Homo-oligomer: A and B are copies of this chain.
Amino acid sequence: MAHYYDTEDLEDFPNIVEFAIDSGKRFFEYYGSATGAGRLTEREKALIALAVAVTQNCPYCIDAYTNKCLSLGVSSDEMMEAVHTGAAMMAGITLAHSTQMRKIIKKKEM
């Protein structure tokens, strides 16, 4: 049975310039600048990218940044900690929004 999320799709990512060359090239220039070493190191940015990939449920980027982290010498424990930071934020964002619910409940109780 065919499936949508081929692991081979990732290799096609550089080819997305094909149907829209100008936008594609400009995207890669932005992406390169935003994920390459700057004030933050490549390692710091790879950990950030991994956390964003996993909180956005993007298999392609989880693959790409797990491999990038490994190639930069990031340990499994460090990667898993980045994932937990992301996961705890996801729960925290939901709970932070529950303060809006609490305000309404408290106003009604008065």
Contacts and interface: CB of A to CB of B under 8 A. Distances in A.
A73 interface: no
Contacts of A91: 27, 30-31, 87-88, 90-91
Nearest to A17: B80
A96 B35 contact: no
Contacts of A66: 100-101, 104-105
Contacts of A94: 54-55, 57, 83, 86-87, 90
Interface of A (DSSP majority class): helix
Number of copies: 6
B93 A63 contact: no
Contacts of A87: 27, 34, 90-92, 94-95, 98
A72 interface: no
Given A4-B5, A16-B80, A23-B80, 19 more contacts: A6-B103, A9-B99, A13-B95, A19-B80, A19-B102, A31-B92, A34-B88, A35-B85, A38-B81, A47-B48, A49-B85, A52-B86, A56-B93, A57-B58, A87-B95, A87-B98, A88-B91, A90-B91, A91-B91
